[in-house]
Amino acid sequence: MNESTGLFPKIPLASWIESFVDFLTNYFSVVFDTISTVVAFITENLVLALGFLPALLLIVIVALFAWWIVNWKIGLFALLGLGLINNLGYWPETIETVSLVLVSVIISMIIGIPIGIWMSQKNSVQTIVTPILDFMQTMPAFVYLIPAVVFFSLGMVPGVIATIIFSMPPTVRLTNLGIRQVDEELIEASNAFGSTTGQRLTKVQIPLGMPSIMAGINQTIMLSLSMVVIASMVGAPGLGTVVYRAVTQVAIGPGFEGGLSLVILAMLLDRITQGANKN
């Protein structure tokens, strides 16, 4: 029997959620296993690909890329910052963290940008999706780990799934916002020339809304990095594991080194995506 709260009986929300989760695990286990296999395959092979190159060579490549995208100052920062991470001995963990972030961001873009475009074209879709995005952004990040572990066990996969859910909303919101903020006169002009909806999107709205879309991707990257430490609690490898282990062992030195490595990585990714946006 449910406990009563005041004049009304307690709503058995917890048992409803658990029953729903049991239903999903019983009838959709094949779907979750397939998703787990695909995500694990992509992430593990990305780790192998990035780890195949010598650390110093990859650092130089990233520094040259940052110089080309932004400027020489960011290129120098990449060279010195990543060199420091390698010197501290956290290069393998950095590769794992970058792989987790890249996979999460790419999947967030593949799902989030089309949803944002759909929202921009239909007010009814925006009305439905906006509260869902509010829920996704306000729910504590730790809560996402529970269903992720139930459906995908422990390891990198639940970390990637939880990161996708946590970090996707900015991409959806700012894609929708960027397209909706395109000057109405330009849209009317494209319609006057007989543009179809697809032509108007690809040739007018998306190009003009790209700064906002890139800002959403930038925020998704930052949120993904912020989720790294939390994801380490369910077995996701990387720099988050270094920080989490330091917290459990009260090891101030290693914790500071891991945290500094994450800060360098976050600053570098932020500057590169901002530079890509300006270009």
| Overall CATH class of domain 13-278 | mainly alpha
**What pLDDT digit, counting tens, does each position of 186-219 carry?**
887 877 777 777 788 888 888 888 888 988 998 9
CA distance 5 to 161: 36
Rounded to the nearest 10 degrees, the angle between the axes of helix 169-180 and helix 206-226 is 160
**What pLDDT digit, counting tens, does each position of 38-56 carry?**
888 888 898 888 888 888 9
Give the mean pLDDT of the chain: 85
Domain ranges of the chain: 13-278
pTM: 0.85
Which amino acid, residue 32?
F
Beta strand segments in the chain, E: 4-5, 8-9
**What pLDDT digit, counting tens, does each position of 112-141 carry?**
999 999 998 888 888 999 999 888 888 887
Nearest in space to 273 (alpha carbons), one of 206, 216, 223: 216
* 14 class by beta-carbon count within 10 Å (0-12 exposed, 13-18 middle, 19+ buried): exposed
Instruction: Using CA atoms of 29, 35, 39, 45 in order, give the dihedral in degrees to the nearest 10.
Output: 90
CA distance 13 to 144: 17
Q: pLDDT above 70 covers what percent of the chain?
A: 96
Q: What does the pLDDT read at residue 243? A: 86
